[in-house]
């Protein structure tokens, strides 16, 4: 999280969402991206949601990752209050395994876009990588780090071997 101005906001609807969203924080830290994390509930703290979204750009944020489960209104509500890119991460729910969250986040009305990622940990990590990619458009160091990360992924696949038969 560092001492410089956060570029990424990492928000979630409740503390229980952290087990999914912490993967995003690890990716951001791996790339040295300064971020802030907060619990901002669309339903329980609507005034905080309003203040957070309206003040995000003024605080220096360039992108917001918003994770939510169930009704999952957080990403869309944030997107309705800022022109910053909002990356929505559906958090798996108890009963519908996150399909409800996915459908809520992906079905935004025309004019209020939310980039929507996969349900769960993979979605959280990919949202963070997408944030790094967006920031890399104006930061060649980040862009180069992302290229190296992708090259490492490629190399790990090329070097993979099957375990010896027992």
CB within 8 A of 107, min separation 6: which ones? none
- Which residues are annotated binding-site positions? 14, 17, 44
Which among 109, 61, 119, 69 has a CA at the least distance from the CA of 85? 61
Q: Which residues are registered as beta bridge partners of 64?
A: 9, 86
- Which residues are annotated binding-site positions for substrate? 14, 17, 44
């Amino acid at each position: 999280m560092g001492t410089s101005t956060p570029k990424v906001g990492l928000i979630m609807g409740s503390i229980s969402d952290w087990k999914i969203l912490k993967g995003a924080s690890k990716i951001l830290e791996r790339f040295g991206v300064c971020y802030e994390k907060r619990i901002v509930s669309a339903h329980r703290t609507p005034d905080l949601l309003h203040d957070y979204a309206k003040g995000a750009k003024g605080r220096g944020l360039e992108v917001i990752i918003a994770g939510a489960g169930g009704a999952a209104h957080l990403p869309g509500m944030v997107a309705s209050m800022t022109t910053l890119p909002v990356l929505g991460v559906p958090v798996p729910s108890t009963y519908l395994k996150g399909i409800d969250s996915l459908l809520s986040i992906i079905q935004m009305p025309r004019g209020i876009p939310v980039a929507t990622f996969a349900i769960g940990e993979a979605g959280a990590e990919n949202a963070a990588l997408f944030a790094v990619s967006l920031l890399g458009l104006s930061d060649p160091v980040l862009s180069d780090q992302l290229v190296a990360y992708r090259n490492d992924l490629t190399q790990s696949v090329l070097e993979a071997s099957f375990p010896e038969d027992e």
